[in-house]
Structure 1
Amino acid sequence: MRRKIPSTAALVAFESAARHQSFTQAAHELALTQSAICRQIAGLEEFLGVELFRRSRRGVKLTEAGLTYSRKVAAQLDAVERDTLAAMGQQGAQSLELAVVPTFATQWLVPRLKDFQRLHPEVTVHLTNRTRPFLFADTAFDAAIYFGDGDWSGTEAHYLMPEEPLPVCSPALLAGREPFSAAELAMLPLLQQSTRPYAWRQWFNAQGLNVPRDLAGPRYELFSMLAQAAAHGMGVALIPPFLIERELAEGRLVAAHPTALHSSDKAYRLMIPERKLESAALGAFRDWLLAAAQAYREARAGSAV
């Protein structure tokens, strides 16, 4: 079926005229005659069946419909230009679009990506924040790194590492004393992670405690926000240690209790849609990422011995 799309030349002429509110300036910008601009826009209005400009002796002015359409056309032309420049700049290179949970990407993945670039200079990796599952068919993503049980329809899951969050707080909250007991933690302000709403309940239950206020406390969407709140003495937070290595090393955060929360089913995973399984670039990234995650798990296990 033929698409209901006007000519690119007409859209470019319209966008320029709408931006300048002038056919004359649009003609100058596009190196065309004013009559050529007029013909393009008249043809576009006929195609749409909508008046885009009001003409008068003083010039032209966008109609309400023209203003709305111009904004959408400008955004689409910008997108086409970006994609075109990207395609022109690749010259045989490959790129990957990854959806990632933000704090994991910032604190763990990005510091290691230089190694992947060294091994595979022909592959460019783009990262975009996504905190929850989505339909790959509705996006341009090649793969995703997320935290969950791996149950994501139409994908192949690859285990990276567990989360195992640990209760942490500002050293000022401890005031030089030994870490709190679980019962003492229950009396402190509890900082909540909005995508892990039952984390504190699970932690206290694992310690054999039923704490009525385990769901209370300010909520933050990202672990990076939780870390900042805890470091500023706002309460105790459950955060995976590998996401706050710098804060722990610098003493801005300390363990409020030595016991982490262990989950048997949920973990960080690389999710690859089935239609992308044959991608050579994605296969190279998958192999590198799994090796890096395994090396990290082994190093972490060794340090814990």
Structure 2
Amino acid sequence: MARRIPPLNPLRVFEVVARTQNLTLAAQELHVSQSAVSRQIAVLETYLGVELFRRERHGVTLTRIGKSYADEVVPAFDAIANATTRLLSSTSQGALRVRTYTTFAAKWLIPRLPDFRQQYPSIEVRIDNAIPDVDFDRDPADLAIQFGDGRWPRVNSDFLFPDEIEPVCTPAYLKEHRGARGRLEPLLQHRLLVSHYRRNDWDAWLTFAGMADAASGTERMSFGSSVLTWQATLDGLGIAIGQTAMLKAELEAGRLVRPFARPCRGDKAYYLVRPKIQREARKIVLFREWLLETIAKEAAREGLVR
């Protein structure tokens, strides 16, 4: 048997009138005229085929049938209102949940978070590290930072910065392993350090630089993440492919150097993603604005330096 549900707008008007017992107050709560309220009640009564209110000189009162109906309808609307409040609270209150990769979190986001905390001390940021692309219906996240082409279903994406890679090593490693008269090819003939999740980076850069033959027989040592790979580089185990945006601190401090100074830019980039259909809470808006502004300021400073 099909469920019979009356027109929802007249039902909503009935709930307010039954709760307030006053046409004027109901009209104020609903932001409509008193006559509009009366018309909606008449529509509901016609649909149900019963009289719900007695129209009296000093207002309206529920009929016996109307009161019985209100006893069930009003709590139903209370339940809907409470469920809606809980849903909105779950997305707008509490900590801001940001999902991203361990490398991005450790080498880019976390070093800059003190600035966000200083500007917005009341917003707690929680970082969840994961490799697979975010699914906002499945994963407990408000925002995510992902690597790709920017075309993901059901999300809005903001371009952050491109993926720029090139070899990096310590100054001591460069001094020890470069060839006579400063030749750099010998650097590629000792040990290449490889990140598991970026294992194609060396081949991409070598092809870009036209140096694939120079490293054709070189030993490769693999690590489970870029962070571990770069730590091995800092410890002098070999030369690695660095992501320029992630190693600014090490490069500026001189702990790592770019011996070839030939960055290769890929066709993928880093993006901030958020649900396409979402009531964006203040914490989400502020974090997004801060992130984009921080990246723009750093890009401007680099442009001035260059």
Q: TM-score range by the shorter chain?
A: 0.5 to 0.7
Q: Could you report, residue by residue, the CA deviation over 1:231-256 in whole angstroms, capped at 9, with x for unpaired residues?
A: 22221101123323333344432223
Please state if 1:269 is matched with 2:271: yes
Letter in 2 for 1:99: R
Determine the C-alpha separation between the residues in 2 that align with 1:220 and 1:294: 32
Determine the C-alpha separation between the residues in 2 that align with 1:216 and 1:272: 41
Determine the C-alpha separation between the residues in 2 that align with 1:252 and 1:180: 21
**Aligned match for 2:221, one of 218, 237, 240:** 218
Determine the C-alpha separation between the residues in 2 that align with 1:171 and 1:222: 23
**Aligned match for 1:300, one of 274, 286, 302:** 302
Please state if 1:188 is matched with 2:211: no
The answer for the alignment partner of 2:286 in structure 1 is 284
User: Is the contact made by 2:174 and 2:187 (CA closer than 8 Å) also made in structure 1?
Assistant: no
The answer for the alignment partner of 2:166 in structure 1 is 166
The answer for the alignment partner of 1:232 in structure 2 is 235
User: Is the contact made by 2:97 and 2:127 (CA closer than 8 Å) also made in structure 1?
Assistant: yes
The answer for the alignment partner of 1:74 in structure 2 is none
Q: Structure 1 stretches of 5 or more lacking a match?
A: 1-89
Q: Could you report, residue by residue, the CA deviation over 1:242-292 in whole angstroms, capped at 9, with x for unpaired residues?
A: 3233333444322232111212x3111111122336333212211111111
Q: Could you report, residue by residue, the CA deviation over 1:116-170 in whole angstroms, capped at 9, with x for unpaired residues?
A: 2233333221111113313221111111112222232211111111231221112
**Residues 150 and 214 from structure 1, CA distance in 2 versus in 1: closer, same or farther, beyond 3 angstroms?**
farther
Identical aligned residues as a percent: 30
**Residues 297 and 172 from structure 1, CA distance in 2 versus in 1: closer, same or farther, beyond 3 angstroms?**
same
User: Is the contact made by 2:197 and 2:226 (CA closer than 8 Å) also made in structure 1?
Assistant: no
**Residues 154 and 189 from structure 1, CA distance in 2 versus in 1: closer, same or farther, beyond 3 angstroms?**
same
Letter in 2 for 1:223: S
Q: Could you report, residue by residue, the CA deviation over 1:91-135 in whole angstroms, capped at 9, with x for unpaired residues?
A: x95421111222222232222222222333332211111133132
Determine the C-alpha separation between the residues in 2 that align with 1:121 and 1:179: 50
**Aligned match for 2:259, one of 235, 253, 256:** 256
**Residues 174 and 120 from structure 1, CA distance in 2 versus in 1: closer, same or farther, beyond 3 angstroms?**
closer
CA RMSD of aligned residues (A): 2.6
The answer for the alignment partner of 1:136 in structure 2 is 136
User: Is the contact made by 1:147 and 1:268 (CA closer than 8 Å) also made in structure 2?
Assistant: yes
User: Is the contact made by 1:94 and 1:122 (CA closer than 8 Å) also made in structure 2?
Assistant: no
The answer for the alignment partner of 1:245 in structure 2 is 248
Measure how far apart 1:185 and its partner are. 4.0
TM-score by length of 1: 0.62
Measure how far apart 1:222 and its partner are. 2.4
Q: Could you report, residue by residue, the CA deviation over 1:53-109 in whole angstroms, capped at 9, with x for unpaired residues?
A: xxxxxxxxxxxxxxxxxxxxxxxxxxxxxxxxxxxxx9x954211112222222322
Letter in 2 for 1:231: L
User: Is the contact made by 1:167 and 1:238 (CA closer than 8 Å) also made in structure 2?
Assistant: yes
Letter in 2 for 1:293: I
Measure how far apart 1:214 and its partner are. 8.1
**Rg bigger for which structure?**
2
Find the residue that maps to 1:269 and give its secondary structure: strand
User: Is the contact made by 1:168 and 1:254 (CA closer than 8 Å) also made in structure 2?
Assistant: yes
The answer for the alignment partner of 1:44 in structure 2 is none
- Which 10-residue stretch deviates more, 102-111 or 140-149? 102-111
Measure how far apart 1:225 and its partner are. 0.9
The answer for the alignment partner of 1:112 in structure 2 is 112
Determine the C-alpha separation between the residues in 1 that align with 2:209 and 2:125: 42
**Residues 221 and 159 from structure 1, CA distance in 2 versus in 1: closer, same or farther, beyond 3 angstroms?**
farther
Determine the C-alpha separation between the residues in 2 that align with 1:244 and 1:204: 20
**Residues 169 and 141 from structure 1, CA distance in 2 versus in 1: closer, same or farther, beyond 3 angstroms?**
same
**Residues 250 and 113 from structure 1, CA distance in 2 versus in 1: closer, same or farther, beyond 3 angstroms?**
closer
Letter in 2 for 1:269: Y
Determine the C-alpha separation between the residues in 1 that align with 2:217 and 2:253: 29
**Residues 121 and 175 from structure 1, CA distance in 2 versus in 1: closer, same or farther, beyond 3 angstroms?**
closer
Determine the C-alpha separation between the residues in 2 that align with 1:129 and 1:179: 41
Determine the C-alpha separation between the residues in 1 that align with 2:244 and 2:95: 31
Letter in 1 for 2:296: Q
Question: How many residues are aligned here?
Answer: 212
